[in-house]
Amino acid sequence: MFFNPTMKHKALRKAVRMFAETEIGPVARTIDREASFPWEVIKKMGPLDFFGLQTPKTFGGAEMDSISYAIVIEEISRVSAAIGLCLAVHNSLSIHPIVRWGTEEQKRQFLPDMVRGEKIGAFCMTEAGIGSDVGGVETNATLDGNDYILNGTKIFVTNGGVCGTAIVFATTDYQNPRQGAAMFIVDRETPGFIVGEKEDLCGMRANPVSSIFLENCRVPSRNMLGAPGEGVTVGMETLNVGRISIAAQALGIAQAAFEDSLSYSKDRQQFHRYLSSFQTIRNYLADMATDIDAGRLLLYRACAAQDSRNSFREEAAMAKLFCSEMARRVTDKAVQIHGGYGYSKEYGVERYFRDAKVTEIYEGTSEVQRMIISRELLARRV
């Protein structure tokens, strides 16, 4: 298999890079330091299709192929991983399940506002007691006439503080939560949908990751995505798509860390020589570039698999596993190359280092990715 970016992909990368550097670059460090969400920038992104990257054109989206989507997430994350995260969760975890499992009525009701960026999407699966193992979901959905009443607490909800539409994982069967698992589309204005405090995080600080409290939150039963009992399937297949965007995000962070390190090594002198003249530093740069290229190839393979067939679980898990661990290795080396300055907020690499770490945790930890990959390997006929 050989991946060569087309002219269309190259032009897209150039345009997104220019937007990211011009519009996000000037505020990227401040929004991280102040943990503030840049509404002014987000408002400019709506008309440019950022909030409907792969959504069908009939609903106002750009209907991009997966490699184009990965390029956009990579380029935005290269400048601000927290904004990359906002787009990744909105497009992959919130819009995608509506496009994939939604009824025509659900699509018409929810997609247009989301695609315009007027309602940012969130995905509410994690609870205090359920993380890697989602089968024991405790948020309860009780049928009452034509509505379900949701009660429970979701934690670590990306975009939680600014979301307009949330995809909520719950169970209709408290005794057998997995069997009764269901996914709901919930509008933020629904009474009983309460946004909690923003988490004080190590990285991704510009994203308002928050808790969501569901207190007798009455949701019409027509807002269920898929059939009752299909919640785990909807959730897991949505996360397959999400993993491609997290791999792209990790790749963007690593690319930024590499570029800063290359340039710093050509500026900084010690022992009357540029750092770039020391073979040890050259080895670091060579390892970083090789790691990044390997990650990019795995990512584009996963994108090609997503566009060509239904099952791409293994490719997505490998891309997410490799790119997130690669981003941790690359950002670690970037801090090392910058020496003491790498540990200071004066330079960007400490932000990349903090942001990279969480890509190994959300949307399935590295341990979970290894479980998925090994399960696929063992299920294969030799």
Ligand X SMILES: Cc1cc2nc3c(=O)[nH]c(=O)nc-3n(C[C@H](O)[C@H](O)[C@H](O)COP(=O)(O)OP(=O)(O)OC[C@H]3O[C@@H](n4cnc5c(N)ncnc54)[C@H](O)[C@@H]3O)c2cc1C
Distances (CA, A) of 252 to 59, 143, 227, 330, 382: 28, 44, 37, 11, 36
Helix or strand or coil: residue 329?
helix
Nearer to ligand X among residue 133 and residue 307 (C-beta): 133
Q: How far is the CB of 275 from ligand X (least distance, A)?
A: 33
Mark the segment that binds ligand X (CB under 6 A) among 53-61, 99-107, 222-230, 362-370: 362-370
Q: Residue count at the site for ligand X (CB under 6 A)?
A: 20
Q: Is 158 in the site for ligand X (CB under 6 A)?
A: yes
SS3 139: coil
Q: Is 358 in the site for ligand X (CB under 6 A)?
A: yes
183 binds ligand X (CB under 6 A): no
Beta strands in 64-204 (DSSP E): 120-124, 140-144, 147-157, 163-171, 181-187, 193-198
Burial of 268 (0-12, 13-18, 19+ CB in 10 A): middle
Stretch that binds ligand X, among 37-45, 110-118, 121-129, 285-293 (CB under 6 A): 121-129
365 binds ligand X (CB under 6 A): yes
Nearer to ligand X, 47 or 129 (CB): 129
Question: Of the two residues 123 and 300, which places its CB atom closer to ligand X in the complex?
Answer: 123
> Which residue from 83, 116, 115, 87 is spatially nearest to 99, judged by alpha carbons?
115
Contacts of 287 (CB under 8 A, 6+ apart): 329, 333
* Amino acid at position 197, single letter: E
Minimum Å gap between C-beta 247 and ligand X is 15
DSSP H or E segment with residue 70: helix 66-79
Query: Under the criterion CB under 6 A, does residue 297 sit at the interface with ligand X?
Result: no
Q: Which residues contact 82 (CB under 8 A, 6 or more apart)?
A: 31, 32, 203, 204, 205, 206, 207, 355
Among 135, 266, 367, 374, binds ligand X (CB under 6 A): 367
89 is a contact residue toward ligand X (CB under 6 A): yes
- What is the closest distance, in whole angstroms, from the C-beta atom of residue 126 to ligand X in the complex? 3
**Which of the following is catalytic: 197, 230, 363, 367?**
363
> Quick one: 121 or 295, whose CB is closer to ligand X?
121
Of 12 and 217, the one with the shorter C-beta distance to ligand X is: 217
Out of 68, 77, 126, 210, the residue judged to bind ligand X by CB under 6 A: 126
Stretch of 42-50, 275-283, 349-357, 363-371 lying at the interface with ligand X (CB under 6 A) = 363-371
Q: What is the DSSP string of 260-276?
A: HHHHHHHH-EETTEEGG
Cα–Cα distance between 326 and 290 in angstroms, integer? Answer: 10
* Contact partners, residue 270, CB within 8 Å, separation at least 6: none
User: Looking only at residues 209 through 238 of this chain, which bind ligand X when binding is defined by CB under 6 A?
Assistant: 209
Catalytic status, residue 197: no
For residue 330, state whether it binds ligand X (rule: CB under 6 A): no
CA 208 to chain CA centroid, nearest Å: 14
Which span sits near ligand X by CB under 6 A: 96-104, 180-188, 354-362, 372-380?
A: 354-362
Task: Report the alpha-carbon distance of residue 351 to residue 345 in Å, rounded.
Answer: 8
> Of 168, 204, 225, 253, which lies in the binding site for ligand X, with binding defined by CB under 6 A?
204
Task: Give the C-alpha separation, 66 to 56, whole Å.
Answer: 13
Give the strand pairing for 120-124 and 163-171.
parallel
Q: Does 251 bind ligand X (CB under 6 A)?
A: no
Listed ranges 18-26, 186-194, 285-293, 365-373: which one lies at the site for ligand X (CB under 6 A): 365-373
Nearer to ligand X, 110 or 123 (CB): 123
Q: CB of 160: closest distance to ligand X in angstroms?
A: 7
The DSSP bridge partners found for residue 224 are 184
The phi and psi torsions of 360 (rounded to 5 degrees) equal -85, -5
Binding site for ligand X (CB under 6 A): 89, 123-126, 131-132, 156-158, 201, 204, 209, 358, 361-363, 365, 367-368
Active-site annotation, residues: 363
